[in-house]
Amino acid sequence: MDVAAQMMERIEALGRISEEADCLSRPFASPAMRRANDLVESWMVQAGMSTKTDALGNLIGRFHGPHADSKILLLGSHLDTVRNAGKFDGPLGVVMAIACVEQIRCAKHALPFAIEVVAFADEEGARYQTAYLGSRALTGLLDEKDLALVDANGVTMAEAIKQFGGDPARLKSCRIAGENLLGYVEVHIEQGPVLEQKNLAVGVVTAIAGQTRATITFEGKAGHAGTTPMELRHDALCGAAEFILEAEQYARQHPGLVATVGQITADPNVSNVIPQRCRLTVDLRHQEDAMRERGCTDLDKFVMEIGRRRGLKAAWRMVQETASVPCSAELSVILREAARKHQPGVIDLPSGAGHDAAVMAKITPVAMLFVRCAGGVSHHPDEAVRNDDVRVALDVLTDFVLSLAARP
Amino acid sequence: MDVAAQMMERIEALGRISEEADCLSRPFASPAMRRANDLVESWMVQAGMSTKTDALGNLIGRFHGPHADSKILLLGSHLDTVRNAGKFDGPLGVVMAIACVEQIRCAKHALPFAIEVVAFADEEGARYQTAYLGSRALTGLLDEKDLALVDANGVTMAEAIKQFGGDPARLKSCRIAGENLLGYVEVHIEQGPVLEQKNLAVGVVTAIAGQTRATITFEGKAGHAGTTPMELRHDALCGAAEFILEAEQYARQHPGLVATVGQITADPNVSNVIPQRCRLTVDLRHQEDAMRERGCTDLDKFVMEIGRRRGLKAAWRMVQETASVPCSAELSVILREAARKHQPGVIDLPSGAGHDAAVMAKITPVAMLFVRCAGGVSHHPDEAVRNDDVRVALDVLTDFVLSLAARP
């Protein structure tokens, strides 16, 4: 069977393994994850790998190198999903890593390093509302306090790991030593529309963008919609509207910056009363932290300016800040060269979403290859990737591994 | 006792008559309304009036004219309240009408007409979500189908009227003949900040503004807040923000128009997803219907323009349209003359809120006198009116009645 078609079949097979009958939901350490791990493990074995599952539940397949202490190249992605997920986010990278090993084995390429394919047990954080459990365990960054977190059914993370067959007391054993690693390379769907727009199958990720989440509140004065003249109003929603448009325009004027007001609530929120309070969220991302930080400063100033001008109490509250994670220039050059062989051009693009690679970067150089997805849709059953693009991605990844092997 | 102080005491007394222990709530046909009617009836009797309660529950006090068939001047307002109400909205007009009659009687002025003080049983519509039951019964406009409406406890309006001591089968008997009336004059708190802004105790109402309520929806495309470049977005909330600011600016540029976006909901309304749908309400009011209608047309066009420019599905749906009710020029001239005697200047202002006068205008000329209220606050326990302003309003109303009596 054609290798791309086989990958698609495997992704379909994983897509049928769900905790819910009518949608794809495969949370961390669930019975569905157990079945997914078992299936993926069988593919790893077919591809000539030895396998193990670590104390958290990460599945790791090893394609041995020339020596027991050969350096290791990590490939992989995650097997867990959000609720009502698409089939490709995560599984694509795992299935592709296995297919890559299979191709290298079939072609009898002798590599100077080992490959380990990691199928992370949790990236989405859907079950415990805290993400990257898998890569945090692998890098030694998982906080043991997290074991006490409970899911929606009151099951602690420690219990869930035990039920899955892991060992919450031995999480430290999951840790792998960075000094033995050549790097971590992840193939993932883009989750955005840029590659589709550029008509390219794959793109090389420059960095995983840093992110700021903040909430903004405007507080004015409620008033009767019929009896309060326009010039005497202190309308919190009008202040919010100004901010929404300014955030949009500011991001448009600063290439690479994205700013999103995703959530808005007005109070009292009835049709015949002037809004007294309005609360907004803003999400800013840029691959350069300095640009994002300047964006926050400028938009914060604008919030205050709106407040002064409109007689509103205005507040900007930081909720979360995550620094940008640059991809390895060295690995990305090789990935870019490989991509150039298989499609008319190559583009570099930042990842606006977080990935296991962002955590893995704490201990080893990382690189990522994005694959075009239909309409940029992800975290939705409509997630779709073309057969041909999967084939291109596999060729690029395999070329990348061989080029890395050929390095002096 | 000083007459203004007595009025304030009476308003306080009514303010203590509530269905709820911790806030003022006096819905239509409630036990609290019964106690309020009884108390007000006793004041009417003290002021020399004969009283009756009609089949709906409206309390009417008659100060007889020279003949049994003398023309009648109606004065009054309503005794019901919204939930968690202020003390002045409604009761002020009733208490003032009684005080006016008392003053005329004490001064032994002989009037060529009778005065009837109406204490309407329902203006706010808090119990049956349909307003103006009192004035609709009086003008013959109450739809008998409304008798089947049920309140929050499942009590039909017909039952409620019966329990109150009225007669739902005889609602037609409430109707009064317009041809016997000289007009209806209502004193009411402004429920807006204009008089406070102008530093005046009272103002003469030109019209009860017409109102349009519409809902606007924008539908774009959800997308990942981190991975969707600004130029590829179809953000429904950004479209909504443009509309909010345009509605505000449009109203500012068109004197007398007020436009309020009071309600907004975004979907999915999470911080890291581009808003797919946004639903807004807009409330437009103007004392000239043509101005309001042009406003609707222009803003509707703007909604469509936003939709086209941003690639959003846009819709404007009319929810309700109420025509403006002009006050009687003839009565208002007399009211204005009277006001001029008791304060430094007079201003005319439209009423942005609805009033019993708007319904009474169907059968007789109407006029309204607004009284300054603190901060324009109404429908709230903070509702407040000054003693001195109450005295001015009473003087103006009494002068008005005497001037009307002195007309050739």
Contact B222, B275 (CB under 8 A): yes
Q: How does residue B130 score in pLDDT terms, banded at 50, 70 and 90?
A: confident
For B258, the closest of A226, A270, A275 (CB atoms) is A226
Domain holding A277, by residue range, is 210-322
Residue A95: name the closest of A129, A47, A136, A134 by CA. A47
pLDDT at A90: 97
Question: Measured between CA atoms, how close is B81 to chain A, in angstroms?
Answer: 16
Q: Could you tell me the two tokens for A33?
A: 């994850």
Cβ-based burial of B105 (10 A; exposed 0-12, middle 13-18, buried ≥19)? middle
Cβ-based burial of A234 (10 A; exposed 0-12, middle 13-18, buried ≥19)? buried
- What is the value of pTM for the model shown? 0.84
Residue A229 forms contact with B (CB below 8 Å)? yes
Q: Does A103 share its domain with A33?
A: yes
Residue B378 forms contact with A (CB below 8 Å)? yes
CA-based nearest residue in chain B for residue A214: B271
pLDDT at B320: 86
| Span A166-211, pLDDT tens digits | 999 999 999 999 999 999 999 999 999 999 999 999 999 999 999 9
**Cis ω for the linkage preceding B229 (within 30 of 0):** no
Question: Measured between CA atoms, how close is A84 to chain B, in angstroms?
Answer: 14
Query: A317 has which bridge partners?
Result: A215
Residue pairs between chains A and B whose CB atoms are closer than 8 Å: 196
Give contacts of A 232-251 with B, CB under 8 A: 232, 235, 237-238, 240-242, 244-245, 248, 251
Label the pairing between strands A181-189 and A366-371. parallel
pLDDT at B373: 96
**CATH code for position B166:** 3.40.630.10
Q: Does A328 share its domain with A381?
A: yes
CB atoms within 10 A of CB B66: 11
Residue B263 forms contact with A (CB below 8 Å)? yes
Residue B385: name the closest of B12, B71, B26 by CA. B12
Q: Does A287 share its domain with A260?
A: yes
Q: Does B158 share its domain with B245?
A: no
CB atoms within 10 A of CB A68: 7
Three-class SS of chain A: CCHHHHHHHHHHHHHCCCCCCCCCCCCCCCHHHHHHHHHHHHHHHHCCCEEEECCCCCEEEEECCCCCCCCEEEEEEECCCCCCCCCCCCHHHHHHHHHHHHHHHHCCCCCCCEEEEEEECCCCCCCCCCCCHHHHHHCCCCCHHHHHCECCCCCEHHHHHHHHCCCHHHHHHHCCCHHHEEEEEEEEECCCCHHHHHCCCEEEEEEECEEEEEEEEEECCCEECCCCCHHHCCCHHHHHHHHHHHHHHHHHHCCCCEEECCCEEEECCCCCEECCEEEEEEEEEECCHHHHHHHHHHHHHHHHHHHHHHCCEEEEEEEEEECCEECCHHHHHHHHHHHHHHCCCCCEEEECCCCHHHHHCCCCCEEEEEECCHHHCCCCCCCCCCHHHHHHHHHHHHHHHHHHHHCC
Label the pairing between strands A264-267 and B264-267. unpaired
Q: From the candidates B272, B355, B382, which should be mutated to test the interface with A, based on the most A CB atoms within 10 A?
A: B272
Q: How does residue B377 score in pLDDT terms, banded at 50, 70 and 90?
A: confident
Q: How does residue B129 score in pLDDT terms, banded at 50, 70 and 90?
A: confident
For A228, the closest of B192, B235, B274 (CB atoms) is B192
Name the region of B247 (left: φ>0; alpha: ψ -120 to 50; beta: rest): alpha
All residues of chain A having their beta carbon less than 8 Å from the beta carbon of residue B194 are 227, 229, 232
Last residue of a domain, one of B304, B322, B340: B322
CA-based nearest residue in chain B for residue A275: B262
Q: Could you tell me the two tokens for B70?
A: 């003398």
All residues of chain A having their beta carbon less than 8 Å from the beta carbon of residue B251 are 230
Residue B230 forms contact with A (CB below 8 Å)? yes
Q: Residue A206 in 3-state DSSP? A: strand
Q: Could you tell me the two tokens for A109?
A: 């390429």
Q: Does A119 share its domain with A236?
A: no
Contact A57, A123 (CB under 8 A): no
Q: Does B68 share its domain with B153?
A: yes
Query: B61 has which bridge partners?
Result: B51, B117
All residues of chain B having their beta carbon less than 8 Å from the beta carbon of residue A292 are none
| Span B297-353, pLDDT tens digits | 999 999 999 999 999 999 999 988 889 999 999 999 999 999 999 999 999 999 999
For A230, the closest of B190, B252, B351 (CB atoms) is B252
All residues of chain A having their beta carbon less than 8 Å from the beta carbon of residue B231 are 252
**CATH code for position B283:** 3.30.70.360
Amino acid sitting at position A198: K
Question: Measured between CA atoms, how close is A327 to chain B, in angstroms?
Answer: 17
Q: Does A190 share its domain with A313?
A: no
pLDDT at B1: 74
pLDDT at B408: 81
Last residue of a domain, one of B295, B322, B349: B322
pLDDT at A130: 85
Residue B124 forms contact with A (CB below 8 Å)? no
Measured CA to CA, the distance from residue A46 to residue A39 in angstroms comes to 11
Q: Does A199 share its domain with A252?
A: no
Is the torsion defined by CA of B123, B128, B134, B135 positive or negative?
positive
Residue A255 forms contact with B (CB below 8 Å)? no
Question: Measured between CA atoms, how close is B360 to chain A, in angstroms?
Answer: 20
Residue A214 forms contact with B (CB below 8 Å)? no
Calculate Rg over the CA atoms of chain B: 24
Contact B228 A264 (CB under 8 A): no
Give contacts of B 349-368 with A, CB under 8 A: 351-354
**Can you tell me the ipTM of this complex?**
0.84
For A227, the closest of B190, B228, B271 (CB atoms) is B190
Q: From the candidates A237, A267, A285, A351, which should be mutated to test the interface with B, based on the most B CB atoms within 10 A?
A: A237
Judge whether residue A61 has pLDDT over 90.
yes
All residues of chain A having their beta carbon less than 8 Å from the beta carbon of residue B352 are 224-228
Last residue of a domain, one of B267, B288, B322: B322
Give contacts of A 379-398 with B, CB under 8 A: 379
pLDDT at A163: 97
Q: Does B54 share its domain with B184?
A: yes
Q: Does B299 share its domain with B383?
A: no
All residues of chain A having their beta carbon less than 8 Å from the beta carbon of residue B265 are 269
pLDDT at B392: 98
Measured CA to CA, the distance from residue B299 to residue B302 in angstroms comes to 5
Report the range of poorest mean pLDDT among A176-185, B39-48, B58-67, B371-380: B371-380
Contact A262 B273 (CB under 8 A): yes
Question: Measured between CA atoms, how close is A358 to chain B, in angstroms?
Answer: 14
Tally of domains in chain B: 2
Q: Does B182 share its domain with B245?
A: no
pLDDT at A223: 86
All residues of chain A having their beta carbon less than 8 Å from the beta carbon of residue B281 are 271
pLDDT at A208: 96
Q: Does A317 share its domain with A329?
A: no
Question: Measured between CA atoms, how close is A78 to chain B, in angstroms?
Answer: 19
Question: Measured between CA atoms, how close is A325 to chain B, in angstroms?
Answer: 14
For A227, the closest of B191, B244, B245 (CB atoms) is B191
Give the up-direction half-sphere exposure of residue A391: CA atoms within 13 A in the CB hemisphere: 11
**Cis ω for the linkage preceding A275 (within 30 of 0):** no
Residue B369: name the closest of B205, B207, B184 by CA. B205
All residues of chain B having their beta carbon less than 8 Å from the beta carbon of residue A274 are 260, 262
Contacting residues for B316 by C-beta, under 8 A, at least 6 apart: B214, B215, B216, B299, B300, B303, B304
Measured CA to CA, the distance from residue A90 to residue A109 in angstroms comes to 27
Q: How does residue A306 score in pLDDT terms, banded at 50, 70 and 90?
A: very high
Percent of chain B at pLDDT exceeding 70:
100
Measured CA to CA, the distance from residue B141 to residue B358 in angstroms comes to 12
Residue B255 forms contact with A (CB below 8 Å)? no
| Span B258-290, pLDDT tens digits | 999 999 999 999 888 899 999 999 999 999 999
Contact A258 B225 (CB under 8 A): yes
Question: Measured between CA atoms, how close is B19 to chain A, in angstroms?
Answer: 24
Over residues A154-168, the mean pLDDT reads 97
